[in-house]
A = this chain, B = another copy of it.
Amino acid sequence: MSKALVYQTDFGTSDGAVSAMYGVAYKVEPTLRIFDLTHDIPQYNIWEASYRLVQTVQYWPEGTVFVSVVDPGVGSARRSVVARTRTGQFVVTPDNGTLTHLKLMVGLDEVRLLKEDVHRLQGSELSYTFHGRDVYAFSGARLASGQLAFDAVGDTVPVDSVVELSHVAAHREGDTVEGTIDVLDVRFGSLWSNIPHELFAGLGIEHGKRVEVSIRNDMREVYRNTMVYARSFADVALFEPLVYINSVLNVAIAINQGSFARAYNIGTGLSWKVTIRRAPRIVYE
């Protein structure tokens, strides 16, 4: 039986691009099951493409083939690759940083070069700008359907050589954990940090206790307040802030039924740092 094929792009779904990618895969194998991760990656935003993969991949079975096309360098010398994660899923993608989070957080088992002139939809030779359709969807479908074995994709390349975007690991310093704000829970405006729940757990703070949260953009502090470390939103009053462990088991910061990001103009990326510590007691003397 074929494996699932899952698409991610920054194309949106307002024109025919994604549907052409579906058609190509359907032609390869009409019984193939094709799904979407998202097509709303902000244009050219490789970091977010990388994050959405790590957020999702583990919920799909071994053998699932992801095709991720955020490809500002289409037509340049950037490589195309197929990676197998340590948990057994495949990712077909330009090697432009899209594999960053999977490499760091899940691990890559083996990576193979995908030659764009070999693994290519017949008749697409004049088209130089839509590898998503002509190369990636086509090859992903052949891989998912078993028509192309992983071993036959192309030469292996060292996992070390896979392009990584800059990143800074979260760390603990005494009673404080510090990390970056990696991404937003888009619709709800919660801040998702790169602080793993185990690192935070080292501080020994229990659910229901208060923590102090400080957020900096470069050197400038843009937010500082104390709030409850809660299990879930409903543990705090409406419109109150909270710290919680999110669905990928990292520390996150939110407002119950509000957008933290919009309320305080918080962005994402390496320049956005967050530190968390047990809230100080306030003593009147």
Query: Does A205 have its Cβ within 8 Å of any Cβ on chain B?
Result: no
Give every chain B residue within 8 A of A1 (Cβ-Cβ). 30
Which one of A27, A72, A129, A231 has the highest number of Cβ atoms from chain B below 10 Å of its Cβ?
A: A129
CB neighbors of B among A51-77 (8 A): 52-53, 55-56, 59-61, 64, 72-76
Give every chain B residue within 8 A of A122 (Cβ-Cβ). none
Query: Does A11 have its Cβ within 8 Å of any Cβ on chain B?
Result: yes
Closest to A15 in B: B186
* Binary interface encoding of chain A residues 196-215 relative to chain B, with 1 for a CB under 8 A from any of its CBs, else 0: 01000000000000000000
A22 to B56 CA separation, bound complex (whole angstroms): 10
- Interface stretch, picked from A165-173, A240-248, A269-277, is A240-248
CB neighbors of B among A243-272 (8 A): 244-247, 249, 257
Give 10 A-B contacts (CB < 8 Å), ordered by A residue.
A10-B187, A13-B38, A15-B55, A18-B38, A20-B59, A27-B61, A43-B257, A127-B247, A129-B244, A129-B245
Chain A contact residues, CB within 8 Å of chain B:
1, 4, 6, 10-20, 22-24, 26-27, 30, 33-40, 43-44, 52-53, 55-56, 59-61, 64, 72-76, 78, 126-130, 133-134, 183, 185-188, 197, 230-235, 244-247, 249, 257
